[in-house]
Each structure stands twice: as C-alpha cells, then as structure tokens.
Amino acid sequence: MNTEYLRMPALMEEQKAAGSKDKYIEITDTLVCARDGLESVGEKTGYLKALADTMLAMDFQVYELYRKLQDTLKAVLKEVLNDYDSLSENEKGTVSEVVKKACGLGILIEEKYEKYL
C-alpha cells in the first residue's frame, strides 16, 4: 500500500508558506492516482482526511487542480458513506472531520450531511 498521499497536506502547507505553486500539479497527481490503490474503507477515510487537509492549504485560484481534488473527495466520500455503518468509531470521527472541512470549503452542503457531523 502506497501511503505517499499522507504527506501531501504538509507539502501543500510548505508551498503555501513559500508563496509557491511549483508542486501543485505533483501534489494533485499524487492524490488523484493514490485513489486507485485504496483497498479498504479504513484506508479511504485516511485518504479523505489527506484530501481535505490539502485542499484547506491550497490556493483556490488554481481552479482546475482544486476541482480535480474536489471531485475526487466527493466520489470517495460517497463510497465511504455507502459503508458508513461498518466503520469503526475512529473512522466515523475522521469522516465527521472531513465532512466539516468540506462544508467549510463550500464543497458540501451542511444540511445534506448533518447526520455525519
């Protein structure tokens, strides 16, 4: 299992602190490609957290890349919510955190996802 995607939020924070966008494509590609290697719902929850945290640090003005991550987050979240009842309490907490962040970013509508908050 490749967990390189877990480093992407920190890498995006470094880009933000440096006022740079040099690695945005690399970060986005790493996150989008990592989706194919996710096997369990538990892995997907950690992946969702990495996606949300990366997007929080990302400059929205790089819309095409931001949109790729947004679409990926929505698709993986849908998969995870389909198996929500099988998640551990820790995984449910992670899903709740991701939903809160996604609502805060305007990606999700809070009223529609309130039962996961």
Question: What pLDDT sits at residue 2?
Answer: 82
Q: What global pTM score does this model have?
A: 0.94
Question: What pLDDT sits at residue 60?
Answer: 84
pLDDT of residue 1 exceeding 80: no
* pLDDT per residue as tens digits for the range 18-47: 999 999 999 999 999 999 999 999 999 999
Structural tokens at position 33:
């490609």
Closest listed residue to residue 71, CA positions, set 53, 55, 94: 55
Question: What pLDDT sits at residue 5?
Answer: 96
* pLDDT per residue as tens digits for the range 55-70: 999 998 899 999 999 9
The domains of the chain are located at: 4-116
Contact 97, 77 (CB under 8 A): no
d(CA 102, CA 56): 9
